[in-house]
Chain A
Amino acid sequence: MSKNSAAVKSVEQPSLNGQSDRGTNKPRRPDTAERARGKRLDRRFGFPWILPAMIVSVGVLYYCIGYTGYISTLNWDGASPEPIPVGAQNYTHLFADPVFWKSVVHTGIFFVVTFTVQVALGMFFAILLHSKVRLGVFYKVLIFVPVVLAPATMAPVFRTIYAPDGQINQIIRALGLHDFSYAWLADQNTALIAVMSAAIWQSTGVVFVLYYAAMSQVEPELMEAARLDGAGNFRIIRSIIWPGVRGTTLAIAILTAIGSLKTFDWPFLITQGGPSYGTEFLGTQIYRVSVALSQVGYGAALSIILLVLALTVAVILNIAGKEKGARRV
């Protein structure tokens, strides 16, 4: 600011003013000793710069994780002043709990299905919108809009759509099955599909934007050359575009895997994890166990397992990514 006003004032004598500026509020060229002092200052004063982030983030999060680890060795309802230490009992209980294994299986299915569908749809939209279609921006906005909407806002809509008198059944009735009124959310299998459809609906926009950006990086000369060699559209997608965006595909795999483990909002808000644990995920189970059943110790043990799973998945996928020479995310 002050520099700007000085510059404005000194239009007539820019060089002179520049000199005086340097002379008044800035020291002359520092010699080597001064420079070394600067370095030392850095070393002494560097730490305060990362301190706020370390306190707010690492401090809070590691404190909470440590606390969770401690709670996971207790039999505690979350309110009683004297929790009973039970050692590893919560963990042995956990591995014998069929609901836990259901949650793990649902997470696995959720990952495979949402990843496959999102990659297919994302590639499809990115390729088409890189081709000569009209109103590209319009389609882009429509695909991306779900990304910015809260699951909490949209969950009632999905509940309505899949209700016995909802829009899905109305469409099926209009197509000819006149008495069709299936309760999609009351059946374990279709309820899981409903939850996955909501997640896919929301996240495809991100996958699409990532692929769209990655495809802009694929060299046009490569495609030109392939075309001259007689390659058709599908051959070009398979042999040039798909390998060209592999780094992005890996990033999406990590993102979706972690996202699957974190899944909470959609199943909680659409089906509450039901019917009969048919859409239970680790997140919803932890919430149900800790809040509704007041088994806080058991919920903490589940949390620790979830944390270990998330870290393991991230490490494995990152290593896999490095080995294949893809860009680290």
Chain B
Amino acid sequence: MFEVRRWYTRGALQLVLTLMVVPFVFPLIAMVQGSLAGSGWGNYATVLSLGLLPRFFINSVLLSTAVLVIVLACTLTAAFGFSKLHIRGKELFFWMLLAALTLPEVVLLAPLFATVTAAGAYNSLWAVIVPAAALQIPFTVLLARNFVDGIPDELIEAARVDGANTWQAFRHIIMPLTRPIVAAIVVLVFINSWNGYLFPLLFLQTPEQQTITLVPQYFVGQFNNDQTKVLAAAVLTALPVLIAYISLQKFFERGLAAGALK
């Protein structure tokens, strides 16, 4: 793109790039440095000795997995229906979904709270799973429908001529061919539900039920605002996502970039 011929301009570019990246790394360094202040690795030992950390992780895994399963099941079937099947008033339904694309989650606060309390789901993961899935589906359906639109109708026709019913066409044509977009959706939905904060904050009250985004808050309460331990907990909660990103770098970049193109 940028054509650089002389070695010193090339060196200058490299230097400028490095300097500009520093602010992006700086908070991560500050986090690790802060977590080692005071009693050093002892901060980590204290955080881990509480024994509750695994519980937070398990809850986050359960939450993300459930959201993922619901979103994927609803998204793939709906994308197939919207793209390849005859449905009366189809575009009207699609627009109803699209209108929910811009919905800020905080708007759902009052009705969800009233409903969740009435249903006795308060302090249960389901109170977070259902609204989290509901908020993601409009967008994942939009993504997946665009993708399924690109699969030629003739493939479905041919399968039908060979005697396949609608379910078999879905199972043997749509499901294998949508793998790339499914990968993007998995990353997007996983990160969004793993990092979600507002709904867990509202609906999950006891530490046994809480997710990792509530860990800093929990430790602020536990350690009387001892920042070093809060930061040690932050490092520990950031690690799994970091490892996942670095090992699946391409998928993450593609998935989250697709997610940005609302």
Chain A residues packing against B (C-beta within 8 Å): 22, 25-27, 29-30, 35, 38-39, 41-43, 45-50, 52-54, 56-65, 67-68, 71, 78, 121, 124-125, 127-134, 137, 139-158, 160-161, 167, 201, 204-207, 209-210, 213, 215, 223, 227, 233, 241, 251-252, 254-255, 258, 261-262, 264-265, 269, 282-283, 286-287, 290-291, 296, 299-300, 303-304, 306-307, 310-311, 313-314, 329
A139 touches B21 (CB 8 A): yes
Interchain residue pairs A-B with the least CB separation, the first 8: A49-B81, A46-B85, A67-B111, A130-B1, A131-B2, A53-B78, A150-B195, A152-B213
Residues of B within 8 A of A290 (CB): 109-110
**A241 to B2 CA separation, bound complex (whole angstroms):** 11
Q: How far is the CB of B224 from chain A (nearest CB, A)?
A: 14
Chain B window 237-248, contacts with chain A (Cβ cutoff 8 Å), 1 for yes, 0 for no: 110011011100
Of B27-35, B40-48, B175-183, the one contacting chain A is B27-35
A45's nearest neighbour on chain B, judged by CB, is B166
B87 touches A47 (CB 8 A): yes
Which residue of B3, B28, B110 contacts A233 across the interface (Cβ within 8 Å)? Answer: B3
**A128 to B19 CA separation, bound complex (whole angstroms):** 13
B96 touches A58 (CB 8 A): yes
Residues of B within 8 A of A303 (CB): 106-107, 109-110
Contacts A57-B74, A141-B249, A258-B102 hold; do A46 and B86 have CB atoms under 8 A apart? yes
Is B149 in the interface zone, CB < 8 Å from A? Answer: no
Q: How far is the CB of A271 from chain B (nearest CB, A)?
A: 15
Which residue of B31, B102, B113 contacts A311 across the interface (Cβ within 8 Å)? Answer: B102
A-B contact pairs, 20 of them (CB 8 A): A42-B166, A47-B81, A49-B78, A54-B78, A54-B97, A56-B133, A61-B135, A64-B131, A133-B14, A142-B21, A144-B245, A148-B191, A149-B242, A152-B215, A156-B234, A206-B260, A264-B197, A287-B109, A314-B101, A314-B102
A132 touches B10 (CB 8 A): yes
Residues of B within 8 A of A71 (CB): 110-111, 114
B170's nearest neighbour on chain A, judged by CB, is A49
Q: How far is the CB of A43 from chain B (nearest CB, A)?
A: 4
Q: How far is the CB of A259 from chain B (nearest CB, A)?
A: 9
**A269 to B217 CA separation, bound complex (whole angstroms):** 10
Q: How far is the CB of A194 from chain B (nearest CB, A)?
A: 12
A145 touches B242 (CB 8 A): yes
Residues of A within 8 A of B30 (CB): 157, 160-161, 167
Residues of B within 8 A of A22 (CB): 162
Count, A-B residue pairs, CB within 8 A: 316
Residues of B within 8 A of A329 (CB): 261-262
Contacts A56-B134, A306-B106 hold; do A26 and B262 have CB atoms under 8 A apart? no
B100's nearest neighbour on chain A, judged by CB, is A61
Residues of B within 8 A of A204 (CB): 24
Which residue of A128, A167, A299 contacts B13 across the interface (Cβ within 8 Å)? Answer: A128
**A148 to B247 CA separation, bound complex (whole angstroms):** 13
**A145 to B23 CA separation, bound complex (whole angstroms):** 12
Which residue of B24, B81, B102, B113 contacts A143 across the interface (Cβ within 8 Å)? Answer: B24
A154 touches B31 (CB 8 A): yes
**A134 to B17 CA separation, bound complex (whole angstroms):** 10
B163's nearest neighbour on chain A, judged by CB, is A26
Q: How far is the CB of A206 from chain B (nearest CB, A)?
A: 5
**A329 to B238 CA separation, bound complex (whole angstroms):** 31
Is B230 in the interface zone, CB < 8 Å from A? Answer: yes
**A261 to B103 CA separation, bound complex (whole angstroms):** 10
Q: How far is the CB of B149 from chain A (nearest CB, A)?
A: 14
Residues of B within 8 A of A128 (CB): 2, 13, 16-17
B103 touches A310 (CB 8 A): yes
Q: How far is the CB of B145 from chain A (nearest CB, A)?
A: 10
**A329 to B259 CA separation, bound complex (whole angstroms):** 11
Residues of B within 8 A of A148 (CB): 191, 195, 241-242, 244-245, 252, 256
A198's nearest neighbour on chain B, judged by CB, is B27
Q: Within B198-250, which residues are at the interface with A (CB < 8 Å)?
A: 198, 202, 212-216, 220, 227, 230-231, 234, 237-238, 241-242, 244-246, 249
B104 touches A251 (CB 8 A): no
Residues of B within 8 A of A43 (CB): 86-88
Residues of B within 8 A of A147 (CB): 252, 256
**A152 to B104 CA separation, bound complex (whole angstroms):** 18
Is B50 in the interface zone, CB < 8 Å from A? Answer: no
B142's nearest neighbour on chain A, judged by CB, is A329
B134's nearest neighbour on chain A, judged by CB, is A60
A156 touches B111 (CB 8 A): no
Residues of A within 8 A of B256 (CB): 147-148, 206, 209
Which residue of B27, B108, B161, B262 contacts A258 across the interface (Cβ within 8 Å)? Answer: B262
